[in-house]
Amino acid sequence: MQHALGFLERAVSTAGDRAALLQDGLALRYDAFAAAAAALGRQLRALGAAGEGVAVLLPNSAELNVAVHAVWYASAKAVLFNPAYPVHELVPLLGDAAPRIVICSADAAAPLREAATSLGVAYLLTLGMHGEVTLDELSARPHLAPPPAPHPSDVAVLLYTGGTTGIAKGVEHSHASVVAMVEAMQLAWPTRYATETWLNVAPSFHVYGFLMGLMNPVAAAATLIPVARFKPDLVVDALASHRVTVFAGGPASLYGALLAAETFPSADLSSLRVCAAGGAPFPVELLARWQRAVGCAIREAYGMTEMAPITGNQHATLKSGSVGPALPGVELSIVDTELGTHVLGAGAAGEVRVRGAHLFRGYRGRADETAAALRDGWLHTGDIGYLDDDGYLFLVDRKKDLILVGGFNVYPREVEEVLIAHDAVREVAVLGAPDARKGEAVVAFVVLAKDATATVDDLHRHCAERLVTYKVPSRIELLDAVPRTAANKTDRRALRAILGALGALHDKETT
């Protein structure tokens, strides 16, 4: 496979009459999918898209999948943004990406048009219901030969990092890199060709959702059900009614919400054979709860915007708490956290560094930051982990999330694992807060399960019985929900703002 369009072209030639996308009663076949994408691609090319960026601001939908493939038919690069962002959040991203064309829904066009024009966007095209272009209209256009295929070295997609700790960076992947990512994903979560019914809830502007919602269903010639907005009860119903076989889920909070859904206990989910997870480490207890309830293990993989996936639990033997060994074609080692040059042995925790064919090209317009992340061909991930004797990776935490309590290292995840094991806890997030005596103190934000009656003191005793003194939270705050980023990860900046609003930290002494 030479370019990202190759997967769609293969699906058309081998399974053209198979349903590619199911949406609100619409069943779009692979041959119609490709024809619509090629038709829109010709229109984009006529607007001067070739070699330029085309920003796509659409929710998970048939229109999104058609639009992204159309961008490639136009020999342009797809720039994926969160369609829910208000204009003031989009402006700096559009300014950085500098797209020639923006594709969005009719509803999003009005507030966006003035800002887009001021940033040099030449055309704003609306796609979907009430838009200038609809799937029905595209399907009715004459079927002409598709435009020339893109070159493997061309930039295929520009994805922006989550930006949970700073300004988001644009991550460039070439067509060759996208092909390698798709092939690696197929190793992480093996699927059957032209057989699967696939449901995706992950946002496609995130690398995991881009692959599991846009690329890999096409690579498998699967029938995809894109979910634009995650509503637990509706997702459970869709999994059951469509007899879904591949569920592209997300982080732990998403699976936890499904387990808590009112429709979950009565749903027949026996058709599931692949339950994928990514985006953030999973509590071991939640993995066990899901498998007991559904009978299909959640198979984690590990990756990031710059390179995904890196590891995967593709083997029959799963190791509790591990995201699996490095996938074929991926080199992975654990190095010291100071200089990042000394390779550590099995069992020793350090920074994860990786390299492989699906490594990103660089950060758009940020040569210095690219050089800092890519050293001697290795991507230094900023994640802390260790390898066991079998080469399985266990993630400890993010290097930047490390909490220093009186000179002792505390990783938020180890405290979160203890709290999530309490029957009354549904969600938890842990971070460090400034402390005059100890430098930093451990703070836990907890969401209780429905009808749970546990108190803060109960949770504190639970931690004190299971953790060394300096790891026990100095403060536990109960929330209705843990704030999340657009990629459904814990929003630590929002939690710090909540902590600031609650006032100064007063330690609860632990002895």
pLDDT tens, residue by residue, 435-466: 877 778 999 999 999 899 999 999 999 999 99
pLDDT in tens, 60-75: 999 999 999 999 999 9
The residue written with tokens 């982080």 in the block is: 251
- Reading the block at residue 302, the tokens are 């590990």
Cβ(36)–Cβ(139) under 8 Å?
A: yes
For 66, list phi and psi in degrees, rounded to 5: -65, -45
Task: Please give the share of the chain, as a percent, with pLDDT higher than 90.
Answer: 68
Q: DSSP string covering 383-410, please?
A: EEEEE-TT-EEEEEEEGGG-EEETTEEE
DSSP lists the bridge partners of residue 54 as 78, 101
> Over the stretch 216-261, which tens digit does the pLDDT of each residue have?
999 999 999 999 999 999 999 999 999 999 999 988 878 989 999 9
- Per-residue pLDDT band at 505 (split at 50, 70, 90): very low
What is residue 425's predicted lDDT score, i.e. its pLDDT? 95
Question: Which backbone phi and psi does 405 adopt, to 5 degrees?
Answer: -110, 105
The residue that leads in pLDDT, 115 or 144, is 115
| Average predicted confidence (pLDDT) for the chain | 90
> Considering only CA atoms, which of 277, 218, 289 is closest in space to residue 252?
277
Query: Is the separation of the CB atoms in 126 and 133 below 8 Å?
Result: yes
pLDDT attached to residue 188: 87
Mean pLDDT of 386-400: 88
CATH 2.30.38.10 region(s) of the chain?
A: 319-399
Nearest to 218 by CA among 242, 248, 241, 258: 248
Average pLDDT over residues 394-403: 80
Q: Does pTM top 0.85 for this prediction?
A: no
**Which residues 6+ apart lie within 8 Å of 350 measured at CB?**
334, 335, 336, 337, 344, 384, 385, 386
pLDDT of 164: 39
Note the CATH architecture for domain 319-399: Roll (2.30)
pLDDT digits (tens, 9 = 90+) for 102-114: 999 999 998 999 9
19-23, 336-340, 381-385, 404-408: segment of lowest average pLDDT: 404-408
User: Does position 316 have pLDDT exceeding 60, yes or no?
Assistant: no
Question: Which part of the chain is CATH 3.40.50.12780?
Answer: 6-229
Q: What is the CATH number of domain 6-229?
A: 3.40.50.12780
Say if residue 291's pLDDT is above 70.
yes
Q: Is the omega angle on the peptide bond into residue 86 within 30 degrees of 0, that is, cis? A: no
- Token reading at 403: 């909490």
| CA trace torsion 253, 259, 261, 263 (10° rounding) | 150
Q: What is the mean pLDDT of residues 388-394?
A: 95
Angle at 68 between CA 64 and CA 70, to 5 degrees: 115
Asked if 301 and 276 touch (Cβ cutoff 8 Å), the reply is: yes
The token duo for 492 is: 């630590």
Tell me: the pLDDT tens digits for 334-389? 999 888 899 999 999 999 999 999 999 999 999 999 999 999 999 999 888 999 99
Per-residue model confidence (pLDDT) at position 49: 97
Q: Residues near 144 by Cβ (< 8 Å), separated by ≥ 6? A: 38, 39, 42
Which two structure tokens, joined as six digits, stand for 479?
């929330």
> Helix, strand, coil: what percent of the chain each, to 5?
35, 25, 40
Kindly report, residue by residue over 27-63, the tens digit of the pLDDT: 999 999 999 999 999 999 999 999 999 999 999 999 9
Confidence of residue 279 (pLDDT cuts 50, 70, 90): low
Calpha distance 158→10 (Å, rounded): 24
Stretch 489-497: mean pLDDT: 86
Mean pLDDT across 285-302? 91
pLDDT at site 508:
45
Quote the pLDDT of residue 319: 83
Cβ-contact 478, 455 below 8 angstroms: no
185 or 468: whose pLDDT is higher? 185
What would the two tokens of residue 308 be? 């995904």
What letter represents residue 155's amino acid?
V
- The predicted structure's pLDDT at residue 424: 95
Split at pLDDT 50, 70, 90, the class of 163 is very low
Looking at residues 474-487, what average pLDDT do you find?
A: 89
Q: Beta strands 274-277 and 298-304: pairing type?
A: parallel
Domain spanning 402-502: which CATH class is it, in words? alpha beta
**pLDDT for the residue numbered 161:** 84
Cβ atoms within 10 Å of 318's Cβ, excluding its own? 17
Average pLDDT over residues 380-404: 87
| pLDDT for res 492 | 84
* Residue pLDDT, tens place only, 306-315: 999 999 887 6
Q: How confident is the model at residue 13 (pLDDT cuts 50, 70, 90)?
A: very high
Helices 30-46 and 62-73: crossing angle in degrees, nearest 10, is 50
